[in-house]
Chain A
């Protein structure tokens, strides 16, 4: 007897959404993994990296006697640097991200989820610990975390616009914030300052729809937010275009400025462009500071 038949069907429907997102992200991650290998420096880890001659300061315990026995000098066996870093993701799930100006471009939310999951896969495959900001999913290693992340990404938030979650951030971890940053700028600023205080560095990835960057509207129109919470009426939309673009540039500038102050990376992505380039940029940006 199934007491909650709807639950089962809803679960099935939810489960059905998982594989595509995962597959999309896996596929995207795969394109990057091919070209980007290892850390290429010695460090703590399990894998052999190289033998080097003993230098002053090395303790005897570090000498690899088996290798040293084959020659006259002593060698130290080094392992590849394998350090687990914690990376925390925040992909905006608010209704605002559900916007797409045409059928050919994905919604901003879709793009953000795919990118976040793909970067998570890449990081987990290279041994990092990945989680979400806030307390919902702390960073962990292992393939299982990918599934948990996928699940979390399929939830959506309430309210028109999202703001970064800055609570419970691990010190000296890394963070990735993906959003359209149309929300409260104060909240973003506060979150970034708080993170910077804890020594967290990361990436702010600004995702925008082509329509949001070009404002192609004409005539008399009432604009309303995705949650229908905010409305603005105009008689002639074309006249608003320049002033809107000015404000958008201002918003971008202040984000960039904020990032420079806190030592974060700032990137802008247009959903009409390829997600692969976006992932590559995101991956490089993260790698630089790891």
Chain B
């Protein structure tokens, strides 16, 4: 530190050179700027004139100051100034950098690496040897020169587990007896045998511990209960009140990874865990693949979600299979509509459905099951199934569960049911009462328009009150529920169709089903789910919490997966067995995080906020800058800074400025109107020819058709946007550059999305198409990477022959007939009575020829042809045909297969006439 500033020097003795500055000042003062030689005839009048003595010929003071500053900056720069220097350590023992290297350190990994780097730099400056020991993947520390240790630093990454007792034991064995100082980069979490290691290290030298005072945050697995996601976060230090943002990641419907939801989690002071609830539509929820704490890396801050969030399988079983038609009256219709977006539906008979082990079975107005069926269903429910039953006329008439409670019904029923508000009954139809607290439907808004006109009525029972989860305004149950082992039975006391109530028509129905369907997978604990199976890892997390697909890791026993601690053999991630997918997260449901406790007297530091930085470069750059200024200042002083030189400098600066504006304004102009484009070849003459040619064609289009193009646009494939131009003219020269990969992807996109390129090899006078002319070979090279369909010579009945003019020849300056377009599909057929086939439903993406059309089209500003075509009148006719070809081509681009569709007009008219 110098004078309180956080600056130190690597080679302070160089600063002695600053003492020479005054000497240099005097030397510089004495040397005036060199004189300018000027021719001047009037010199004869100057002879004998003496310079005024009071005028100094010395360098102006400010120029001196400038130069002295430059020199001072050079000297200071060479002295190696360091920002935020660390006070040099007294010890010269080797340094051991000990990294915990667990996921807890991932959050600060970058800062930690920077700090280790600066520590190693410091050690290198002091000539101390150093070694690196990573507890995540321990190797015996070898003390080496600090610089070579620094080279290995980028290869050290945090691991998604913490060192266990065994690792600590290994490390303890590795340590030599020689003395060394230790810097322990702690992850802030309590380790298995941390104290033993610390005392072993302290026996060998001083120990500095570096850790983040803010502690570590983690995310426990998300719990799904009653349709609500409970997100729990834990932390190692409980001092402060803070709020974390947890993000839910997943694929959106287009398959793009996105953040699907965010939820804040607020820790109060003194709490080490906090949770937050998130209610999402089932569709969205089933897309969530992982939750993470925003802005924190680390496998602990990530929790993967598995099967429990996926779509349920719902089996729909209806008893009235014999009744035909009347789709809207089918009790399953509304269920189907309500469940289809959120669940996978299975329909069939119970025997067929139950072996598929659905999450939910819906029985709509089915009263009686065969004893075998009943047994099977009961078993299935006991294993965690949800049986959803709806009442109906059949059930009401069956006398089911009247005397004694049916095992598959939650309550006893009175026989016959009741109807209210009908023509033959007293009272009003009843509406739904607000849901009581504790009901899975609690909180759902109850719409007024839901009216119940008939229901099956429960017998009053001691257990009835507990089983009702929804009731009508008169207190009679509408939905009842009973738990059977791990599963449950839910009965709607109304029909699943609109016969008895308006419920299926309301949004409430969907919401209720949604809440219920979620309940199905809750309650199975991990061990039973996992044990007995071998689980194959499909995705594992690295220390930073990034998922990686894996295929080569061995499978893991279910018990191991459920119980063992994470390590190299058991990585956090997604494991698969059959169709089931489970997530093993770093933190499990009831895990807490213990902050590392260091014995009193341990030296604990935070991360360096400002790492040591070598700022000599800044000083040297400043010196260079000052010297640049000095050049101009010296020129100005000696009178040699002329307008031309200033202009050159200004011009250079202007040229360096980006020229995006021109392209942008051009783009705006070209998108406002239509413009033809030509690809720049780098040959000025050809480019000018293409520009003139397209200008000529644009003029002709303007006069003859309703296409009114603006000035043609020269296109640089590398820099310009080509999607604005429906038509590109591409003259081929043997020496033009092959476009870059980006340009090719642009071109292929362009061709796929309906653009057309006219390739012109301009050599039809000497070469046939495909012959090995230089231009033809070049075209082959250029087109090799383009997405060009199979080609054929332009057939006589191609739509290009009749989009505006009826043409059979397509001459340019040369009249070769070799013009190639996209080949017609093999099954294109001639329509009866029509001269042409219905060819090419769409625009041919390329037209290839060598007729040098641009020359035939080329016009100057006054509309005069620039290049001769043919001889005399025949030549003019050929030019006219060339223009017509151009018109047809542009029409073809702009109207697509419209003219081709015209083929059908006579047939349609014919049909109308009949």
Cα A125 to Cα B600 in complex, Å, equals 120
Pick from A21-29, A112-120, A226-234 the stretch touching chain B.
A226-234
A220 lies within 8 A of B639 (CB)? yes
**B residues less than 8 Å from A219 (CB atoms):** 33, 35-36, 637-640
**B residues less than 8 Å from A217 (CB atoms):** 38, 40, 639
Cα A226 to Cα B49 in complex, Å, equals 19
Q: A236-B51, A237-B639 are in contact. Are A180 and B45 (CB under 8 A)?
A: no
Q: A235-B55, A244-B45 are in contact. Are A220 and B638 (CB under 8 A)?
A: yes
Q: List the count of A-B residue pairs having beta carbons below 8 Å apart.
A: 105
A216 to chain B, nearest CB (A): 10
A182 lies within 8 A of B41 (CB)? yes
B399 to chain A, nearest CB (A): 119
Digitize B409-421: 1 where CB-to-A-CB distance is under 8 Å, 0 elsewhere. Answer: 0000000000000
Point out the residue from A160, A161, A220 that lies within 8 Å of B57, measured CB to CB. Answer: A220
A173 to chain B, nearest CB (A): 30
- Which residue of A has the minimal Cβ distance to B43? A223
Q: Which residues of chain A from 240 to 288 have a CB within 8 Å of any chain B CB?
A: 240, 243-244, 247-248, 251
The verdict on B39 contacting chain A, using a C-beta distance below 8 Å, is yes
**A residues less than 8 Å from B57 (CB atoms):** 220, 235-236
Digitize A189-206: 1 where CB-to-B-CB distance is under 8 Å, 0 elsewhere. Answer: 000000000000000000
The verdict on A212 contacting chain B, using a C-beta distance below 8 Å, is yes
Q: Which residues of B are interface residues toward A (Cβ below 8 A)? A: 32-47, 49, 51-52, 55, 57, 637-640
**B residues less than 8 Å from A96 (CB atoms):** 41
B639 lies within 8 A of A224 (CB)? no
Cα A255 to Cα B335 in complex, Å, equals 121
B42 lies within 8 A of A222 (CB)? no
**A residues less than 8 Å from B52 (CB atoms):** 236, 239
The verdict on A225 contacting chain B, using a C-beta distance below 8 Å, is yes
A248 lies within 8 A of B45 (CB)? yes
- Which residue of A has the minimal Cβ distance to B35? A220
The verdict on A44 contacting chain B, using a C-beta distance below 8 Å, is no
B46 lies within 8 A of A239 (CB)? no
B720 to chain A, nearest CB (A): 40
**A residues less than 8 Å from B45 (CB atoms):** 182, 244, 247-248, 251
Cα A215 to Cα B49 in complex, Å, equals 14
**B residues less than 8 Å from A239 (CB atoms):** 51-52, 55
Point out the residue from A209, A225, A237, A240 that lies within 8 Å of B44, measured CB to CB. Answer: A225
A221 lies within 8 A of B38 (CB)? yes
A182 lies within 8 A of B33 (CB)? no
The verdict on A99 contacting chain B, using a C-beta distance below 8 Å, is yes
B680 to chain A, nearest CB (A): 36
Q: A230-B44, A236-B51, A240-B49 are in contact. Are A223 and B638 (CB under 8 A)?
A: no
B878 to chain A, nearest CB (A): 47
**B residues less than 8 Å from A160 (CB atoms):** 44
Cα A182 to Cα B40 in complex, Å, equals 11
B36 lies within 8 A of A220 (CB)? yes
A222 lies within 8 A of B36 (CB)? yes
B647 to chain A, nearest CB (A): 15
Cβ contacts A to B, 30 pairs, < 8 Å: A99-B39, A99-B41, A161-B44, A215-B42, A219-B33, A220-B34, A220-B36, A220-B639, A223-B46, A224-B37, A224-B43, A225-B43, A226-B41, A230-B43, A232-B43, A234-B46, A235-B35, A235-B55, A235-B57, A236-B52, A236-B55, A237-B639, A239-B52, A240-B46, A240-B51, A244-B42, A244-B49, A247-B46, A248-B42, A251-B45
Digitize A146-184: 1 where CB-to-B-CB distance is under 8 Å, 0 elsewhere. Answer: 000000000000001100000000000000000010100
A222 lies within 8 A of B46 (CB)? no
A223 lies within 8 A of B40 (CB)? yes
**A residues less than 8 Å from B37 (CB atoms):** 221-222, 224
**B residues less than 8 Å from A232 (CB atoms):** 43, 46-47, 49
A210 to chain B, nearest CB (A): 12
B51 lies within 8 A of A234 (CB)? yes
**B residues less than 8 Å from A18 (CB atoms):** none
- Which residue of A has the minimal Cβ distance to B57? A235
A130 to chain B, nearest CB (A): 28
Point out the residue from B43, B51, B638, B639 that lies within 8 Å of A231, measured CB to CB. Answer: B43
B43 to chain A, nearest CB (A): 4
A206 to chain B, nearest CB (A): 13
Q: Which residues of chain A from 79 to 110 have a CB within 8 Å of any chain B CB?
A: 96-97, 99, 108
Cα A221 to Cα B35 in complex, Å, equals 5
Chain A interface secondary structure, helix, strand, loop or mixed?
Answer: mixed
B35 lies within 8 A of A212 (CB)? no
A221 lies within 8 A of B36 (CB)? yes
- Which residue of A has the minimal Cβ distance to B639? A219
- Which residue of A has the minimal Cβ distance to B636? A219
Q: A217-B639, A220-B33 are in contact. Are A211 and B40 (CB under 8 A)?
A: yes
The verdict on A39 contacting chain B, using a C-beta distance below 8 Å, is no
The verdict on A218 contacting chain B, using a C-beta distance below 8 Å, is yes
A287 to chain B, nearest CB (A): 31
**A residues less than 8 Å from B41 (CB atoms):** 96-97, 99, 108, 161, 180, 182, 209, 212, 225-226
A224 lies within 8 A of B38 (CB)? yes
A218 lies within 8 A of B44 (CB)? no
**B residues less than 8 Å from A182 (CB atoms):** 41-42, 44-45
**B residues less than 8 Å from A161 (CB atoms):** 41, 44
**B residues less than 8 Å from A209 (CB atoms):** 41
**A residues less than 8 Å from B46 (CB atoms):** 223, 232, 234, 240, 244, 247
Q: A225-B39, A225-B40 are in contact. List 6 more A-B contacts (CB 8 A).
A: A161-B44, A182-B42, A182-B45, A219-B35, A230-B43, A239-B52
Cα A226 to Cα B44 in complex, Å, equals 11
**A residues less than 8 Å from B33 (CB atoms):** 219-220
- Which residue of A has the minimal Cβ distance to B45? A247
Cα A233 to Cα B51 in complex, Å, equals 9
- Which residue of A has the minimal Cβ distance to B52? A239
B42 to chain A, nearest CB (A): 5
Q: A161-B44, A225-B43 are in contact. Are A220 and B38 (CB under 8 A)?
A: no
A159 to chain B, nearest CB (A): 12
- Which residue of B has the minimal Cβ distance to A97? B41
A99 lies within 8 A of B638 (CB)? no
**A residues less than 8 Å from B39 (CB atoms):** 99, 223-226
Cα A96 to Cα B55 in complex, Å, equals 30
B40 lies within 8 A of A224 (CB)? yes
Cα A230 to Cα B49 in complex, Å, equals 14
Most B-side CB within 10 Å, residue of A180, A220, A224, A247: A220
**A residues less than 8 Å from B42 (CB atoms):** 182, 211-212, 215, 223, 244, 248
B48 to chain A, nearest CB (A): 9
B657 to chain A, nearest CB (A): 29
Cα A240 to Cα B55 in complex, Å, equals 11
**B residues less than 8 Å from A224 (CB atoms):** 37-40, 43
B355 to chain A, nearest CB (A): 101
- Which residue of B has the minimal Cβ distance to A232? B46
Query: Which 9 pairs between the two chains have the least Cβ-Cβ distance?
Result: A219-B639, A235-B57, A220-B35, A223-B43, A218-B639, A96-B41, A247-B45, A223-B40, A236-B55
A181 to chain B, nearest CB (A): 10
Point out the residue from B36, B47, B55 that lies within 8 Å of A230, measured CB to CB. Answer: B47
**A residues less than 8 Å from B55 (CB atoms):** 235-236, 239
Cα A217 to Cα B35 in complex, Å, equals 12
**A residues less than 8 Å from B38 (CB atoms):** 217, 221-224
**A residues less than 8 Å from B639 (CB atoms):** 217-221, 237
- Which residue of A has the minimal Cβ distance to B37? A222
**A residues less than 8 Å from B47 (CB atoms):** 230, 232
A171 to chain B, nearest CB (A): 33
B29 to chain A, nearest CB (A): 14
Most A-side CB within 10 Å, residue of B32, B39, B41, B49: B41
A124 to chain B, nearest CB (A): 31
**B residues less than 8 Å from A234 (CB atoms):** 46, 49, 51
Point out the residue from B35, B49, B637 that lies within 8 Å of A222, measured CB to CB. Answer: B35
- Which residue of A has the minimal Cβ distance to B33? A220
**B residues less than 8 Å from A215 (CB atoms):** 42
